[in-house]
Amino acid sequence: MIDRRYIGHALPAFTVSVEAGRLRFFAKATGNVDPVYIDEAAARDAGHPQLPVPPTFFFCLEMDQPNPAAMRELLGIDYRRLLHGEQHFRYHAMAYAGDSLRFEPRVADIYDKKGGALEFVRRETTVTNQHGALVAELTCVTVVRHG
Amino acid sequence: MAELRYDDIEVGAELPSLHAEPITRLTLALYCGASGDHNPIHVDSDFAHAAGMDDVFAHGMLGMAYLARVVTGWVPQRAIRALSTRFVAITHVGDRITCSGSVVEKLAGRQLRVTLTAADQAGVVKLAGEAIVELS
């Protein structure tokens, strides 16, 4: 069982830079040919100052932290038993290539179902930009299979 | 594209669906690199076999990126207030994923609730999602 005393525990905060080349690579990898996500001129024509960060890429940026295994290590979870159960995003402002985004994750909840055969960890992360504006809130529900 | 207006949308309206290319090992390798999710279970078949899986399988977040494309193909991204999904079933190499969406509720504040689904060629649901968009 994962120690419930970690409920509410803040994980290390970190800052990541959004790179235009990475956004283009992500567009290619997700089959996105919408020029707004590939071509700066098309992005500007659509009212964006730079290439926009697409909706799910915040999750990828969250994996770019210095230690992507920070939560697993803290909670003692074997990643071969992990499943991504749910993912939620709330959006407050657009983010763009060139932005510097600060991620502040915390362990929001730990609970179990099926008599402990499945444990769930809900991580909540706030994302703010270099101007201090709230950009997005992420919620990741991880499932840990026992037995 | 002409921007949609809240008053023009009825409950039951369908979003343009998305037919993704069949999932290949290259798809998974590209998503591994671009996403930064380097979990070997998605790209290294030796690792997948050792972990008891028949083969590598797709990142759940690849499917969610497809769901997001359904929404950004319909309204500008700045209209999206929320996006969420449950990962219902594993997407396998060779699967042909179709993503669909429909407006299920008109909310206060000129917001719409949209359900989103990613399913394979047999109709098996892989992701069950939802978005909230706010229109002018």
Are A52 and B61 in contact (CB < 8 Å)?
A: no
* Fold of the domain spanning A7-18+53-145: Thiol Ester Dehydrase; Chain A (3.10.129)
Whether residue B87 is predicted with pLDDT greater than 60 in this model: the reply is: yes
Whether residue B1 is predicted with pLDDT greater than 90 in this model: the reply is: no
Domains of chain B, CATH where assigned: 10-23+59-134 (3.10.129.10)
pTM: 0.97
Residue of B nearest to A21 (CA): B34
Distance from CA of B45 to the nearest CA of A (A): 14
Q: How many CB atoms lie within 10 A of CB B102?
A: 14
pLDDT tens-digit profile of B58-70? 999 999 999 999 9
Complex-level ipTM: 0.96
Residue of A nearest to B74 (CA): A34
Are B72 and A54 in contact (CB < 8 Å)?
A: yes
Per CB-CB distance under 8 Å, the chain B contacts of A94 are: 77-78
Sign for the CA dihedral angle at A95, A101, A102, A108 comes to positive
Which among A67, A73, A75, A69 has a CA at the least distance from the CA of A6?
A75
Between A93 and A80, the more confident residue is: A93
The whole-chain average pLDDT of chain B stands at 96
User: In the predicted model, what is the mean pLDDT of residues B119-133?
Assistant: 98
Domain boundaries, chain A: 7-18+53-145
Report the DSSP beta bridge partners of residue B58.
none
